[in-house]
């Protein structure tokens, strides 16, 4: 099985099968995009690439859906605002705290590391319900803060980045200190550029995780103007599911940013997936 | 002297950063955690103060057939999901290993499935699997029958595990692939000299050599089976006949639709504990320390 010559027939067969499978795996995406471009009544009775192609579903989503109390444009903004805030915050706080853990010998450093690992072992879904209690007590239900605050710092992010920072030689830091750099300059001008890959991974995974989050905003947001795309799309489907075309256009809207992000940063994603194996 | 001062200053900054993280964790981790424990042993309905109720939540939960049914559904999900996903990811990993050209392209296609958004892909598969959807259209045209993928109580869970498999095969496959490429070639050369048949080679050499990666996939799959929410919520709403009702859905409904947060809190603890114990058990049973000596 192992010693195929590069061009043996068997290896050709496997290559072809793998290519066919890879394209089959994309079928749901292709179907989604094609369905979003067809009038609803044609989606189920035309074959994949035939039928009338139109942008009316997208027009419906951005103009008529507003009158149905489903403001998609606004929810797109909400999703971007929340996701970007969380991502920026996680990257900055993780890098600073990771630097302290990796390079500063302060009292209690080992205990903090132990605490981080303990946090990572406990299943996070356990805290969903009591987190809602906290958000309610703070009076933050139906606000951006309810989606941003609980995710502003990430133990996983701190852990990942500190592992990488440990590998950066101390000499660089001594040199920067001789130049009278302060800690902010050391972290943002030296450590992050030197560890670009891992920081990018933490940023990308935080972005996709937050964008895709469904259960948490479903619990804390009931005001349609504050809903992220995932929740608005779900409620739209629940009430107006018979508008299959617009629902598919909404699905494209929800899936597209992650697909583009993934294609643009695929190198980091692949690295991140193999790094997170440890 | 100034160097000494600098070092002390550094330590202060380090401690300050550590304290900022601890303070954040105190509010957004320890405090909710405390509430989880308080709620589990009290009676509370979102208003006024929780009143201590001892073990009555536990008593109610023990006879809650919906909750235990959902825990049984986790086992049913795993029963479908584990064999399907392991077969597919292993096939993917072997295929990728033997692929001459375009490894990156093939991996990219499979990983695009992995980063699909939960709500979006659940909606798409609901349509693809529907009675008049393209999958049934294909089956009817070629084989003359249709399959009630999401509307039959005995098939709905299988359909959901197929969909989750679609999402995760690329990720799991890459994990297994990273194990496969790390196996030293000499091991296979030795097996070849002994004329070991391919199946024996697979079971006796390849699979044991990637034990760490197999365990990793097993653990990830177990975590998912306990925390799955979006797919059944969007596609079947737990039905038909509660056949796809998962623990987190019961927890969500108990807390936010039936307004019984204290019962839901205890459910959260039990779900988390069960997931932790199953993972522990899986590791104890299957984890091997594989080293070439």
Q: Do B201 and A1 touch (CB under 8 A)?
A: yes
> Residue B269 — pLDDT band, cuts 50, 70, 90?
very high
Q: What is the predicted pLDDT for the residue at A227?
A: 95
Are B153 and B76 in a shared domain? yes
Nearest to B127 by CA among A58, A242, A54, A68: A242
Q: Do A183 and B227 touch (CB under 8 A)?
A: no
Q: Which residues of chain A have pLDDT under 50?
A: 1-5, 277-278
Are B162 and B31 in a shared domain? no
Are B12 and B103 in a shared domain? no
Distant-in-sequence, close-in-space partners of B55: CB < 8 Å, separation ≥ 6: B41
Residue B49 domain-assigned (yes or no): no
Q: What is the predicted pLDDT for the residue at A278?
A: 41
CA closest to A96 among chain B residues: B17
Q: What is the predicted pLDDT for the residue at A7?
A: 64
Contact B276, B61 (CB under 8 A): no
Angstrom distance (rounded) from CA B235 to CA B232: 5
| B-chain residues near A233 (CB < 8 A) | 119-120, 123
Q: What is the mean pLDDT of residues B33-38?
A: 92
Query: Two tokens at A21?
Result: 């499978």
Q: Do B21 and A153 touch (CB under 8 A)?
A: yes
CATH of the domain at B87: 1.10.3720.10
Are B142 and B266 in a shared domain? yes
Q: What is the predicted pLDDT for the residue at A218?
A: 95
Q: What is the predicted pLDDT for the residue at A125?
A: 85
Query: Two tokens at A276?
Result: 């997170």
Angstrom distance (rounded) from CA B170 to CA A273: 11
> Residue B137 — pLDDT band, cuts 50, 70, 90?
confident
Give residue B181's domain range.
Answer: 58-286
Which residue carries 């302290």 as its tokens? A100
Residue B85 domain-assigned (yes or no): yes
Are B245 and B129 in a shared domain? yes
Angstrom distance (rounded) from CA B17 to CA A87: 19
Q: Do A106 and B18 touch (CB under 8 A)?
A: yes
Are B10 and B147 in a shared domain? no
Query: Two tokens at B67?
Result: 């909750």
Q: What is the predicted pLDDT for the residue at A1?
A: 45
Are B224 and B126 in a shared domain? yes
Angstrom distance (rounded) from CA A272 to CA B89: 19
Query: Two tokens at B40?
Result: 């589990």
Q: Which domains does chain A have, with CATH numbers?
A: 63-275 (1.10.3720.10)
Are B21 and B163 in a shared domain? no
Residue B50 domain-assigned (yes or no): no
Are B175 and B248 in a shared domain? yes
Q: Do A97 and B17 touch (CB under 8 A)?
A: yes
End-to-end distance of chain B based on CA atoms, in angstroms? 53
Helix (H) or strand (E) holding B52: strand B51-52
Q: Do B261 and A129 touch (CB under 8 A)?
A: yes
The count of domains in chain B is 2
pLDDT digits (tens, 9 = 90+) for B184-222: 888 888 888 888 888 888 888 888 888 989 999 999 999
Q: Do A15 and B32 touch (CB under 8 A)?
A: no
Q: What is the predicted pLDDT for the residue at A162?
A: 93
Residue B265 domain-assigned (yes or no): yes
Are B32 and B86 in a shared domain? no
Q: Do B112 and A26 touch (CB under 8 A)?
A: yes
Of A106, A122, A262, the CB nearest to B112: A262
Are B243 and B276 in a shared domain? yes
CA closest to A104 among chain B residues: B14
Q: Give A3 to chain B, closest Cα distance, Å.
A: 9
Q: Give B86 to chain A, closest Cα distance, Å.
A: 16
| B-chain residues near A136 (CB < 8 A) | 46
How large is the ipTM? Answer: 0.88
Mutate to test the interface with A, among B45, B108, B112 (most CBs of A within 10 A): B112
Q: Do A123 and B175 touch (CB under 8 A)?
A: no
Residue B70 domain-assigned (yes or no): yes
Q: Do B268 and A108 touch (CB under 8 A)?
A: no
Q: Which residue has the higher pLDDT, B101 or B30?
A: B30
CA closest to B2 among chain A residues: A178
Nearest to B211 by CA among B189, B171, B172, B180: B180
The HSE-up count of residue A63 (CA atoms within 13 Å, CB side) is: 6
Are B168 and B262 in a shared domain? yes
Of A6, A31, A230, the CB nearest to B128: A31
| B-chain residues near A187 (CB < 8 A) | none
Residue B55 has pLDDT above 90, yes or no: no
Q: What is the predicted pLDDT for the residue at A277?
A: 46
Helix (H) or strand (E) holding B42: strand B42-43
Q: Do A125 and B255 touch (CB under 8 A)?
A: no
Length reported for chain B? 293
Q: What is the predicted pLDDT for the residue at A141?
A: 94
Helix (H) or strand (E) holding B33: helix B31-40
Of A31, A119, A177, the CB nearest to B29: A119
pTM of the predicted model as reported, rounded to 2 decimal places: 0.89
> Residue B254 — pLDDT band, cuts 50, 70, 90?
very high
């Amino acid at each position: 099985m192992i010693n195929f010559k590069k061009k043996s027939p068997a290896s050709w067969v496997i290559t072809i099968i793998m290519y066919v499978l890879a394209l089959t795996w994309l079928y749901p995406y292709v179907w989604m995009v094609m369905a979003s471009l067809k009038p609803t009544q044609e989606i189920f009775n035309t074959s994949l690439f035939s039928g009338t192609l139109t942008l009316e579903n997208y027009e419906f989503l951005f103009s008529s859906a507003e009158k149905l109390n489903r403001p998609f444009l606004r929810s797109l903004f909400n999703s971007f605002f929340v996701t970007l805030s969380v991502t920026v915050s996680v990257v900055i706080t993780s890098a600073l705290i990771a630097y302290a853990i990796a390079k500063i010998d302060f009292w209690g450093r080992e205990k903090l590391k132990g605490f981080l690992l303990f946090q990572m072992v406990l299943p996070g879904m356990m805290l969903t319900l009591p987190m809602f209690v906290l958000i309610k007590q703070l009076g933050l239900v139906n606000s951006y803060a309810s989606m941003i605050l609980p995710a502003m710092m990430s133990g996983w992010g701190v852990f990942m980045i500190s592992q990488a920072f440990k590998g950066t030689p101390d000499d660089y830091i001594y040199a920067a200190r001789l130049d009278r750099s302060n800690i902010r300059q050391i972290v943002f001008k030296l450590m992050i550029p030197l560890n670009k890959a891992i920081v990018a991974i933490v940023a990308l995974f935080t972005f996709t995780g937050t964008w895709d989050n469904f259960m948490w905003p479903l619990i804390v947001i009931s005001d349609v103007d504050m809903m992220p795309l995932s929740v608005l799309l779900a409620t739209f489907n629940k009430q107006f599911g018979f508008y299959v075309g617009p629902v598919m256009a909404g699905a494209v809207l929800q899936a597209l940013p992650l697909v583009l992000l993934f294609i643009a940063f695929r190198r980091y994603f692949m690295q991140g997936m193999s790094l997170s194996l440890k | 002297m100034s160097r000494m001062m600098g070092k002390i200053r550094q330590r202060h900054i380090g401690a300050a950063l550590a304290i900022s993280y601890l303070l954040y964790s105190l509010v957004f981790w320890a405090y909710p955690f405390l509430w989880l424990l308080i709620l589990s042993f009290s009676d509370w309905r979102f208003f006024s103060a929780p009143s201590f109720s001892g073990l009555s939540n536990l008593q109610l939960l023990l006879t809650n057939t919906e909750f235990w049914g959902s825990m049984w559904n986790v086992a049913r999900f795993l029963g479908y999901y584990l064999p399907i996903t392991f077969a597919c990811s292993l096939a993917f990993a072997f295929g990728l290993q033997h692929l001459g050209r375009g490894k990156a392209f093939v991996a990219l296609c499979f990983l695009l499935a992995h980063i699909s958004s939960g709500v979006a892909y659940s909606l798409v598969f609901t349509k693809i699997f529907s009675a008049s959807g393209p999958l049934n259209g294909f089956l009817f045209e070629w084989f003359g029958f249709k399959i009630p993928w999401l509307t039959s109580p005995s098939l709905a869970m299988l359909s959901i595990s197929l969909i989750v498999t679609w999402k995760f095969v690329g990720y799991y496959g890459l994990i297994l692939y990273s194990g496969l490429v790390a196996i030293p070639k000499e091991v296979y050369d030795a097996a070849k000299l002994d004329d070991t048949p391919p199946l024996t080679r697979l079971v006796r050499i390849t699979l044991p050599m990637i034990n760490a990666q197999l365990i990793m996939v097993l653990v990830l799959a177990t975590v998912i089976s306990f925390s799955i929410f979006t797919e059944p919520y969007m596609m079947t709403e737990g039905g038909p006949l509660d056949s796809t009702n998962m623990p987190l859905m019961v927890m969500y409904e108990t807390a936010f639709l039936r307004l019984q947060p204290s019962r839901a809190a205890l459910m959260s603890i039990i779900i988390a504990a069960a997931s932790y114990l199953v993972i522990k058990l899986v590791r104890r049973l299957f984890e091997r320390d594989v080293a070439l000596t």
